[in-house]
Amino acid sequence: MDNIYDIIIIGGGPAGLSCALYSSRANLKTLVIEKESFGGQMFSTGSIENYPGSSENTTGLSLTNRFKEQAENFGSEFISDTVVKIDIDDKIKSVECEKSTYKTKTIVIATGAKPRKLNIPGEKEFSGKGVSYCATCDGAFFKDLDIVVIGSGNSAFEEAIELTKFGRKVYLAHRKNLSKVTPVILERARKNEKIHFLPEEEIQEIKGNNFVESLVFKNSSTGEITELSKKEDDPTMGVFVFIGATPNSKLISQFTKLEKGYIVTDGEMRTSIPGVFAAGDVRVTPVRQIVTSASDGAIASISAEKYISENF
């Protein structure tokens, strides 16, 4: 069984990287498969203040590199590939990727979630041409331009604050109810002179030619339609969407129980499939933060190790 992994982790975000660290440190043969950027959503986060032990200068990139380096030091293997199918019918499971197929005793699904779309006219057409879902990735493209942020949760308010480093003015279109925003983040946003709040404006359409030129809003109280346009001499304006996420659970959706698309697990990260675990944002959990994902990953690793000891 030399060519069989003890654990294959699908997804290289904080849950997957934490799981890899604990697994390889326990001398389990560990493989992490990630189709995009290691670190997941953490990778593209600007300043990280709420991860224990992080410094004032900690960024998503720096924390990702530290997570990954620790796991590599204990022997975890990392590959960039896309998983197309998993076979969980046998005791030894199979993970089929575009480039190769791997065998394993256990699988941890740590595929996270992807940004939710507005699904309005113009969004798809102008994605990458003014429309973005990552402030850290694309904020610098809108230096000294007007920026509009759409969203009513912590991420929208945090990213709006981040985008004031680049934009001339940042409009924040949000719902009146701000119960999802923590008081400290709300207070920071309110004190930032570059942020202008649009508490009743619901975006209807994104317009432009080659790049975004204007946004159409509808007032939730009066029904009035207004249009916010770029300044005459500006090449474009930025639209950053932060309205939640959709779990990447398609790989396992036909095999196990889901709740609103999220994988249902017990407290030990076990799915209903023996030897298959889930961790991080892809599973049902009341909180989705880097620290909770890292905790999930550690628990999944320990549970997988226990499963292996009892079944192999």
Q: Provide the phi-psi class of 15: left if phi over 0, else alpha when psi is between -120 and 50, else beta.
A: alpha
What would the two tokens of residue 133 be? 């879902």
Indicate if 134 belongs to the active site: yes
User: Among residues 81, 97, 134, 234, which one is catalytic?
Assistant: 134
Give φ, ψ of 115 to 5 degrees: -55, 135
Q: Return the structure tokens found at 76.
A: 């975890």
Catalytic residue among 138, 146, 281, 296: 138
- Alpha-carbon span 16 to 21, nearest angstrom: 9
Looking at residue 301, its amino acid is S
**Of 2, 81, 89, 137, which one is the catalytic site residue?**
137
First to last CA, the chain: 11
Is 138 noted as a catalytic residue in this protein?
Answer: yes
19 part of the active site? no
Which are the catalytic amino acids? 134, 137-138
